[in-house]
Structure 1
């Protein structure tokens, strides 16, 4: 295969991976649903080879299940899994935040303030859901970015995606949302003050409150 053709296929595969990943997180496909390859090709306007590369990557990442080396299915959802994901988020994000506060420099502080400002300016009530989701993920990534462990950041990113499958099915909870939004600002303030213990406590409570909302949405599905 020529280099230009290989590069083009890899670019197409990455584009499809990103779009399909968002569709999986947003609930476009039902939990447990088997994906029809032909329908995916038509919907995403892509050839079989780059599509399969994207599907294989998503299966390795945990957002799809590969069956018999050919078919792909959306993972089912279970309360026990949600509890496990939330518990790991509390532990790993708390650890990453502690390390980030210890390692973060002035540039990180500026990036964190900017990420928090952009998130605060985005109004969920005004229908800016997609933009809010992107900025929310960016804020949490920025918060722990200087922790010093590439693998820890990878695990956290994966846990966020798995958690979001449940969270985005949850009903609106404006009272809890106000608390969570206030905690974003509190996390920034504590991080800038280098108050590691208090920041970790807020982070753990933040994840727990999000988990409780997600659990409510999952219960309503049943």
Structure 2
């Protein structure tokens, strides 16, 4: 992995995890020291993150973290429902026995992490892997790419929201239900449950605005 790729991955995770304030100007000199990286690979990573949508490039003024915006969150959640639902239906139609085994394994690892709430970063990693595995055999690399980008944008909001343990228990249970419907090849039932899953998670993500960060 190149230095630019390494810093891109690290910064991407830090931005998604809310380690920078929404609307914050990102000082390149501070980032060089913080991540112990040279200017050239850092600038390359920042430009990639701006193209990806996790930073805003300002003319002659560097980079800024996007603000939180209710209209944007609504748009992201709506596109997640459309694209993930489509990908899930395709995955159920195309998935083979190997996919079924990988899906069961991903669900098992996530369930174990559900029972160890102190491992937040590990849970997030396994949660992302579960959702990627669920739609992996959809047959479209571009569809998977768009879904990955939407997840990162959505998670910016979700991870800044206050914890909602009761909703989290329902969402955790729905992961197992999604697996069961996928294995039964119930595409219609799985898509309906995915819609509900995203909607509940969206309602949690709305809590990110409770600290006065909402913009229009």
TM-score by length of 2: 0.95
- What is the CA distance between 1:58 and its match in structure 2? 0.4
Q: 1:170 aligns with which of 157, 161, 170?
A: 161
Counterpart Cα distance in 2 of 1:67 and 1:103: 43
Counterpart Cα distance in 1 of 2:165 and 2:199: 16
What are structure 1's unaligned runs of at least 5 residues?
1-9
C-alpha spacing 1:79/1:65, structure 2 compared with 1 (3 Å): same
Whether 2:88 is the aligned partner of 1:116: answer: no
Superposed CA deviations along residues 63-98 of structure 1, whole A, max 9, x for unmatched, are: 001111561110111111111100100110000000
Partner of 1:214: 205
- What is the CA distance between 1:26 and its match in structure 2? 1.1
Q: 1:16 aligns with which of 7, 13, 33?
A: 7
Whether 2:152 is the aligned partner of 1:161: answer: yes
Q: 2:124 aligns with which of 133, 152, 159?
A: 133
SS of equivalent to 1:72: strand
Partner of 1:68: 59
Superposed CA deviations along residues 195-214 of structure 1, whole A, max 9, x for unmatched, are: 00000000000000000011
Partner of 1:38: 29
TM-score by length of 1: 0.93
Matches within 5 A, 1:73-92: 73-92=64-83
Partner of 1:152: 143
- What is the CA distance between 1:217 and its match in structure 2? 2.9
What are structure 2's unaligned runs of at least 5 residues?
none
Counterpart Cα distance in 2 of 1:27 and 1:39: 17
RMSD (Å) for aligned C-alpha atoms: 1.3
Whether 2:86 is the aligned partner of 1:98: answer: no
